[in-house]
């Protein structure tokens, strides 16, 4: 019985389209899993879709002929390609399942949480024997959607592999808050309203699609960097996990999605030794607070008061929790633990 994992690549190298996907493949191969490469979408338009349809069919046929009865196959869902093209993999997954292959589906994203149906999500997830969800809230959602007959495990947090993390990432100043990620206005519109807080909180922004406008007091744009470089360049005392166009709450489609998912930026901050600030209605809030990895607020307007009343000892404890968790994330402990299926894996934080 062998263990295989699907690893997506472009025409030149293994490439999963995001650091989270790359890290999963690296962790598994380090643990002795065999990588089975399939191509990801490389361009846009009809010609690329037609090419990818043929490539996808041939490569998944090869996968189905490689994996045998009693083997395990891990697939990262959704596949990093056009949804309609990705469905060509479904008949091969069904065939493998019927032939006695155990299929593990590690979930990165669920369109149904955004009200989007008909993209093959149900057909993919129904082929799985084991689903790996972000957290308990997502696991309960999957049960409500009819997947309660499957083994559902939770990550707790995504891993964030990194070897070189600058000790200077955490400046020791809780009033200096890092915001990392896609800064386009329709996703992170709140960053263009941070000066409304009228406080001594200072924000440092890192990421693409920032729309430079009139300068905001207390807000500095620090540029964009590849995910692998961020642990060397981030500087701050907290990392902020927020989405939507309002500072009063997380709003819109992206904000509401926080009620179910684990944003990868949470893992980035912790891997850098930064405690986090999260929305108190987000799925990750309970985990963060219980394990003393940061604080939860209902509105960014609460930040000045929360920071003002935070003692040095309390902040030091949060930094210590972030450092300890960061070490685990940089090693890939969360995925390893989830796949070992330890009872209470999500809640266990000792090494």
Report the first-to-last Cα separation within the chain, whole angstroms. 29
Specify the pLDDT at position 43.
64
Distance CA 121, CA 142 (A): 12
Specify the pLDDT at position 58.
96
% pLDDT > 70, the chain: 94
When pLDDT is cut at 50, 70 and 90, the band that residue 245 belongs to is very high
Closest CA to 280 of 245, 241, 308: 241
Report helix, strand or coil for 8.
Answer: strand
% pLDDT > 90, the chain: 82
Query: 351 or 45: which carries more pLDDT confidence?
Result: 45
Token pair of 63 as six digits: 């996968």
Specify the pLDDT at position 345.
35
Distance CA 222, CA 203 (A): 10
Angle between helices 46-66 and 90-98 (to 10 degrees): 10
User: Any idea which of 5-9, 265-269, 327-331 has the lowest mean pLDDT?
Assistant: 5-9
Closest CA to 204 of 173, 162, 250, 166: 173
When pLDDT is cut at 50, 70 and 90, the band that residue 74 belongs to is very high
Question: Taking 60 as the threshold, does the pLDDT of residue 13 lie above it?
Answer: no
For residue range 149-201, list pLDDT tens digits in order: 999 999 999 999 998 788 889 999 999 999 999 999 999 999 999 999 978 99
pTM: 0.92
CA distances (Å), origin 245, targets 8, 200, 251? 33, 21, 6
In which element (H, E) is residue 131 found? strand 130-133
Distance CA 239, CA 180 (A): 8
Q: Are 83 and 120 in contact (CB under 8 A)?
A: yes
When pLDDT is cut at 50, 70 and 90, the band that residue 82 belongs to is confident
Question: Taking 90 as the threshold, does the pLDDT of residue 18 lie above it?
Answer: no
For residue range 35-63, list pLDDT tens digits in order: 999 988 766 788 888 888 999 999 999 99
**Average pLDDT of 241-258?**
95
Specify the pLDDT at position 41.
75
Distance CA 195, CA 53 (A): 48
Q: Kindly list the structural domains of the chain, giving each domain's residue range(s) and its CATH number in brackets, ordered by start.
A: 3-159+333-345 (3.40.50.2000), 176-331 (3.40.50.2000)
Specify the pLDDT at position 44.
73
Q: What angle do CA 98, 100, 106 make, to 5 degrees?
A: 90
When pLDDT is cut at 50, 70 and 90, the band that residue 83 belongs to is confident
């Amino acid at each position: 019985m062998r263990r295989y994992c699907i690893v997506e690549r472009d025409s030149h190298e293994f490439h999963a389209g995001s650091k989270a996907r790359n890290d999963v493949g690296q962790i598994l191969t380090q643990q002795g899993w065999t990588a089975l490469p399939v191509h990801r979408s490389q361009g846009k338009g009809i010609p690329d879709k037609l090419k990818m349809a043929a490539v996808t069919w041939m490569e998944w046929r090869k996968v189905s002929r490689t994996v045998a009865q009693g083997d395990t196959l891990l697939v990262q869902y959704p596949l990093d390609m056009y949804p309609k093209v990705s469905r060509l993999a479904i008949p091969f997954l069904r065939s493998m399942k019927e032939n006695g292959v155990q299929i593990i589906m590690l979930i990165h994203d669920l369109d149904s949480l955004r009200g989007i149906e008909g993209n093959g999500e149900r057909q993919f997830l129904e082929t799985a024997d084991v689903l790996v969800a972000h957290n308990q809230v997502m696991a309960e959602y999957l049960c409500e959607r009819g997947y309660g007959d499957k083994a559902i495990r939770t990550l707790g947090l995504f891993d964030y592999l990194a070897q070189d993390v600058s000790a200077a990432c955490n400046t020791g100043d809780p009033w200096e808050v890092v915001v990392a990620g896609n800064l386009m206005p329709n996703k992170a519109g709140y960053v263009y309203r941070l000066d409304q807080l009228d406080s001594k909180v200072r924000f440092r922004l890192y990421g693409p699609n920032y729309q430079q406008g009139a300068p905001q007091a207390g807000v500095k744009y620090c540029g964009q960097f590849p995910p692998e470089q961020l642990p060397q360049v981030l500087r701050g005392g907290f990392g902020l996990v927020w989405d939507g166009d309002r500072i009063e709450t997380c709003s819109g489609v992206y904000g509401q999605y926080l009620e179910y998912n684990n944003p990868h930026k949470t893992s980035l901050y912790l891997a850098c030794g930064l405690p986090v600030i999260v929305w108190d209605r987000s799925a990750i809030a309970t985990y963060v607070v219980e394990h003393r990895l940061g604080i939860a607020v209902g509105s960014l307007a609460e930040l000045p008061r929360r920071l003002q009343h935070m003692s040095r000892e309390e902040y030091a404890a949060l930094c210590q929790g972030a450092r300890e968790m960061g070490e685990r994330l940089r090693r890939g402990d969360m995925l390893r633990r989830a796949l070992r299926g330890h009872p209470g894996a999500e809640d266990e934080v000792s090494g």
